[in-house]
Chain A
Amino acid sequence: MIKSIQELEEIRKKALEELEFRKQHGEGIRVVVGMATCGIAAGARPVMLKFVEEIQKRNLRNVTVVQTGCIGLCKYEPIVEVYEPNKEKVTYVKMTPEKVLKVVAEHLVNGKPVYEYTIGYEENKEANN
């Protein structure tokens, strides 16, 4: 029973959160998880679920999590790419649910990509070995 306009407004805000991403994409941050067979085999599903969980927990309304097919670098799976408007995309590789916590906290919330998880960092590491 809604007894006041404030209550109506609260319901509206809450319900809108859930519907926010039914608008056409384009604005906000997009987290794209590679979910081809290779990605799933490497453990992309728990990674993606962790993203969803964390984003919900922190109430990040401008972030959507979507899946994509094989990104092409199967040996680096699970791969997650983060697209921010007007910024270069950041590609995270060999992701785990634990790493997700840090990416969400530092990159999605504070805007600082976690370089040690990115493909550039991994490639350098391999080249140096």
Chain B
Amino acid sequence: MPLYRAHVLVCGGTGCTSGGSDKIYDAFLKEIEAQNLKDEIQVIRTGCFGLCAEGPIVIVYPEGAFYSKVADSDVKEIVEEHLLKGRIVKRLLYKESIEEGQIKSLNEVKFYKKQMRIALRNCGVINPENIEEYIAYDGYKALAKVLTEMTPEQVIDWVKRSGLRGRGGGGFPTGLKWEFAAKAPGDVKYVVCNADEGDPGAYMDRSILEGDPHSVIEAMAIAGYAIGSKQGYVYVRAEYPLAVKRLEIAIEQARQYGLLGKNILGTGFEFDIEIRLGAGAFVCGEETALMTSIEGHRGEPRPRPPFPAVKGLWGKPTLLNNVETYANIPVIILKGPEWFASIGTEKSKGTKVFALVGKVNNTGLIEVPMGTTVREIVEDIGGGIPGGKKFKAVQTGGPSGGCIPASLMDTPIDFDSLTALGTMMGSGGMIVMDEDTCMVDIAKFFLEFTVDESCGKCPPCRIGTRRMLEILQKITSGNGTEEDLEKLEELAYSIKDSALCGLGQTAPNPVLSTLRYFRDEYEAHVKEKRCPAGACKALLRIVIDKDLCKGCGICAKNCPANAITGQIKKPFEIDQSKCIKCGVCIEKCPFKAISKKA
């Protein structure tokens, strides 16, 4: 293997790719070729670095220069200045990574300081399309260890002792699940990876598959050994083309290297993995629906029990875990269950990956020890709320979850504390909201999502959620009554009790949780016909400030509804019954005399 004097790592995560990192990668290859540096410098596409808000990101080693918001037009300068002459291009450096002109180590940047990367350990570090880089960082060593030094029972015992709980959302103890699958009678068993990530705003599973696909493959092979299975399936949605491509490459390479297939590492153990593409239906993330879909049927859930560990794919015992859960396994095997159990809180061990999105400065992918508080995540890692606005709440768990209000910001995040707050971990989406977010509107957004995604098999979910949505639409349009609030709650509880699967049972959660912490907002909508956050369009009033208005008439000329009238040089007025709240007058007024009022 040739030695290079510098490595250029270009982020190949979906965020940076949509920001043009493909072009940046090509530009580097071209420019390096043009400058005749091909033998000295290696350009590598990695997985997600995490700091998506600053993408596209390029890191140049050995200096560790962290370039953010790079454009393909910047590449020439980086090559000519940095790679050719060794002068770091300061204007492109991520501002937090420089101190007194010196580049700080990435771990010292605020965004990374409070993080602990276990599941994301290789994301942004290795080239996901090169199995040797994964092997270099102890890849497949855990598989080798279990195959040669451990019995299946010991592997299960280690996973149990580590305290790892399912990262897909429910938080079921992983080791216990493995034990059930191992003990279930039957010669044919399956190992399935759930990569059907559907929560709005969540993308951790995708990033792991894109940045470190081998960690999932290795873990599935370990699971296969532990429960006695020869065949694995990764169920991934077709909307994740990059993840699918990297996974395909990784599986192929693992086969070539003899790490999948027959007689793995000469031990006689046999295991292989196939990919199954999902059409991107939210319900297919539910385990029974997922398996039905793999079997080739329409992805609809069925009642449990029997649980998949007993009766899963094609009626055979099946072990089903999500991507992030698997990504933790090789590290647990290498570092031991006690090491893993020493991280996190009493009942939630290890770390959790979150997709930090919404009204926060550093949006991106983060991994923190369980027990980190909302405040640490939003303020320290997230860098606070943009535009000096006030923090209002954070939504976790997607459509199955709920909100944590500002007053509970110091809650340490783990499975149980979130459940106690009426929300949940979910797959790890974390949507930060500021004072301009209307909580009724948010509840409506998530309900629209579930109504769209309901498979329709059971009436509580198919009809019930639609009725709830109608009530929320009524409230946000200013026609809600106090009775509606009662009806909404009643409906929510009965859907929770009667829906067939997890999707329906949790669909009312966003409503219940916002009612719990932000009931006053609902009441303002219903009683005063007012939206305190100023987000619900129908409840806004657009008004002209008489003192600021110079009577120029520009607003009246631009109003598409002819709602503004007045005499030149005298204050104009808006007829609220005609106003369609489009806001054109606000934009056009040269004196900033027109504004929205809640």
Interface residues of A (CB under 8 A from B): 1-5, 8, 11-12, 14-19, 21-22, 24-26, 30, 33-37, 39-40, 48-49, 52, 55-56, 64-69
Contact = CB atoms under 8 A, between A and B. Distances in A.
B135 interface: yes
Contacts of A37: 85
Nearest to B144: A5
B141 interface: yes
B407 interface: no
Tell me the dominant secondary structure on chain B's binding face.
loop
A14 B138 CA distance: 12
A3 B40 contact: no
B132 A15 contact: yes
Given A19-B133, A24-B105, A1 B258 contact: yes
B457 interface: no
B62 A56 contact: no
A45 to B, nearest CB: 9
A34 B136 CA distance: 32
Contact of A35 (B3, B86, B135): B86
Given A2-B257, A22-B62, A15 B141 contact: no
B40 A68 contact: no
Contacts of B137: 16, 19
Contacts of A16: 136-137
19 contacts: A1-B258, A2-B259, A3-B265, A5-B148, A11-B132, A12-B135, A12-B138, A12-B141, A15-B1, A19-B136, A24-B64, A24-B107, A33-B86, A36-B85, A37-B85, A66-B5, A66-B6, A68-B86, A68-B87
Contact of B3 (A22, A26, A55, A66): A55
Interface in B79-97: 83-87
A31 B119 CA distance: 35
A73 B87 CA distance: 16
Interface string B51-87: 0000000000111100000000000000000011111
Most chain A beta carbons < 10 A, residue from B3, B4, B138, B141: B3
B362 to A, nearest CB: 21
A30 to B, nearest CB: 8
B306 interface: no
A104 B266 CA distance: 42
B55 to A, nearest CB: 19
B266 to A, nearest CB: 5
Contacts of A49: 40
Given A5-B144, A19-B136, A67 B125 contact: no
Most chain B beta carbons < 10 A, residue from A1, A2, A34, A56: A2
Contacts of B140: 8
A16 B64 CA distance: 17
B136 A15 contact: yes
A1 to B, nearest CB: 4
Nearest to B108: A24
A62 to B, nearest CB: 12
Nearest to A7: B265
B7 interface: yes
Contacts of B106: 24
B3 A18 contact: yes
Contact of A22 (B61, B135, B138): B61
B296 interface: no
Given A19-B126, A66-B86, 15 more contacts: A8-B141, A12-B136, A15-B133, A18-B3, A21-B7, A22-B9, A24-B64, A24-B106, A25-B63, A36-B86, A36-B87, A40-B84, A40-B85, A67-B86, A69-B87
Nearest to A18: B1
Contact of B256 (A1, A11, A30, A34): A1
Contact of B85 (A17, A25, A64, A69): A69
A1 B62 contact: no
Interface in B115-151: 125-126, 132-133, 135-141, 144, 148
B2 interface: yes
A6 B152 CA distance: 22
A21 B87 CA distance: 19
A89 to B, nearest CB: 16
Nearest to A31: B5
A11 B86 contact: no
Interface string B368-397: 000000000000000000000000000000
A101 to B, nearest CB: 17
B492 to A, nearest CB: 51
Most chain B beta carbons < 10 A, residue from A4, A15, A34, A66: A15
Contacts of B40: 49, 52
A35 B85 contact: yes
A22 B148 contact: no
Contacts of A34: 86
Nearest to B59: A22
B270 to A, nearest CB: 14
Contacts of A2: 257-259, 265
Nearest to B254: A2
Nearest to B264: A2
B482 to A, nearest CB: 60
Contact of B5 (A5, A12, A19, A65): A65
